[in-house]
A and B are shown apart, each in its own frame.
Chain A
Amino acid sequence: MHLSDGTPVQTPKQEGDRNVEFTKFMRTYQNMVFSTAARLSGNDAQAEDIAQEVFLRAHRRFDELRDNPRAAGWLKTVATNLTFTHLTRYRKRWVFFSQLQSADEGENDPVLDFADDASVVEEVRADERHEYVEAALRELPEHQRLPLVLFHFEDLPYEEIAQKLRISLPKVKTDIHRARQALAAILARHGITAEQLEA
């Protein structure tokens, strides 16, 4: 997405109006930006930092973004890229210390039978279920959460995910599959059944 980088000179009144408009703009998109960063990073504090940086960049280009129908896409792309930058900064350490265990992780997970869980009687309300799902996403290891979020929330194809994460296509598919299994297992552990999920 091409957006030029102009910084026009403005009077204080114009600057004040601009800030009011920018605040409205921020209120429109802040949940989307924060959600993208939070789901990818799995950390709310980091997501807030990333969202702040996204809006600071948006402010510099606000004259082009304010009436641009592609503003949401631009913000989402910047949020995704900044999250990747943030995660890659720690990736080498992270891979060394955290993913040593991930090679065989999930191999011994029991296969879930979604149709066979009638023992749970407590009905979980929809908003609570949403919170459970978000918490379960945060609980996933990074190498599973990232491709899962990119596939299901960002609608990226496997090939693009592999390219973005610099991993092989089979690994992307395996990680996403294991992420789904892990997510379902976490939710089942907290009493959420397939029927409730589909409801």
Chain B
Amino acid sequence: MTHPQQPAPDERALEQLIGSVLRQQPLRRAPATLEARVLRELAVRAAHPWWQLGFSHWPRAARILCLPVGMALVPLSFLITSRLLSLWQSVQQSTPANAAQSGWRWLENLGQALQALGNVVTREIPQWWVYGGACAALLMYAALFGLGAAAFRTLFVTSEPVRYPS
């Protein structure tokens, strides 16, 4: 194994060769469409008011102003939440208890139905069916993940074929 601090002669020759090759490479020519794209995008942005553009495009003053405004919004949101809560409590106290509770009745019914379903499943369905089903679900998830990875590699990793001049 070659020590990284002291490259072997072959390694040094390779470094010098590739280094000189790459240094001789001229700049690549930018696509002819680049200039038009930039100018078109500038025109589009110029047509929009600054507040419709991304945050990084806002004038500096507006960006700076966002900090105190953001900080002020935190206590304001707490204040609004506490006011809403107290309002809710006062509404609850002023209405009959039955009316308030009826709103939650459906939730209670749903819980009871789910519990009954769970009881049926544990009583009627054999345990190994449940475990087998869980294992099958895991296997299907893994297979789907593998298919996704294969599709990613096929469709995206080799999306730009390397072209050599003829």
Question: A173 with B29: in contact, given A30-B35, A139-B162 (CB under 8 Å)?
Answer: no
Q: Which residue of A lies closest to B29 (CB)?
A: A31
**Contact partners of B68 in chain A: CB under 8 A:** none
Q: A19-B42, A32-B27 are in contact. Are A27 and B160 (CB under 8 A)?
A: no
Q: Which residues of B contact A30 (CB under 8 A)?
A: 30, 34-35
| Cβ contact within 8 Å between A138 and B34 | no
A146 contacts B by Cβ under 8 Å: no
Majority secondary structure of chain A interface residues (helix, strand, loop or mixed): helix
Interface residues of A in 138-196 (CB under 8 A from B): 138-139, 148, 152-153, 170, 173-174, 177, 180-181, 183-184, 190, 194
A135 at the B interface (CB under 8 A):
yes
Give the A interface residue count (CB, 8 A). 58
Contacts of A84 in B (CB 8 A): none
Given the complex of chains A and B, what is the CA–CA distance between A183 and B153 in angstroms?
22
Interface residues of A in 6-42 (CB under 8 A from B): 6-7, 19, 23, 26-27, 30-35, 38-39, 42
Whether A198 pairs with B20 at a CB distance below 8 angstroms is yes
| B89: interface (CB < 8 Å) | no
Say if the beta carbon of A111 comes within 8 Å of chain B: yes
Contact for A48 among B18, B27, B31, B60, CB less than 8 A: B31
CA A197 – CA B19 in complex, angstroms? 11
Is A97 within 8 A of B153, CB to CB? yes
Closest residue of chain A to B10 (Cβ to Cβ) is A111
Give A183 Cβ to nearest chain B Cβ, in Å: 6
Say whether B49 faces chain A, with CB atoms less than 8 Å apart.
no
Establish whether residues A132 and B164, one from each chain, have CB atoms under 8 Å apart when the complex forms: yes
Q: Does B165 lie within 8 Å of A48, measured CB to CB?
A: no
Interface: A95 (CB within 8 A): no
How far is A27 from B22 in the complex, measured between Cα atoms in Å?
Answer: 23
Given A128-B165, A131-B165, check contact A114 B30 (CB 8 Å). Answer: no
19 contacts between A and B (CB under 8 A): A26-B35, A27-B35, A30-B30, A34-B29, A35-B27, A55-B34, A56-B42, A93-B152, A97-B152, A114-B13, A128-B165, A132-B165, A133-B22, A134-B28, A135-B165, A170-B4, A173-B4, A177-B14, A180-B18
Q: A173-B4, A184-B17 are in contact. List 19 more A-B contacts (CB 8 A).
A: A5-B60, A7-B60, A19-B39, A30-B35, A31-B27, A31-B30, A34-B29, A35-B27, A52-B34, A96-B149, A131-B164, A131-B165, A133-B25, A134-B28, A153-B22, A180-B15, A183-B18, A197-B20, A198-B17
**Which residues from chain A sit less than 8 Å from chain B, CB to CB?**
5-7, 19, 23, 26-27, 30-35, 38-39, 42-45, 48, 51-52, 55-56, 59-60, 93, 96-98, 111-112, 114, 128, 130-136, 138-139, 148, 152-153, 170, 173-174, 177, 180-181, 183-184, 190, 194, 197-198
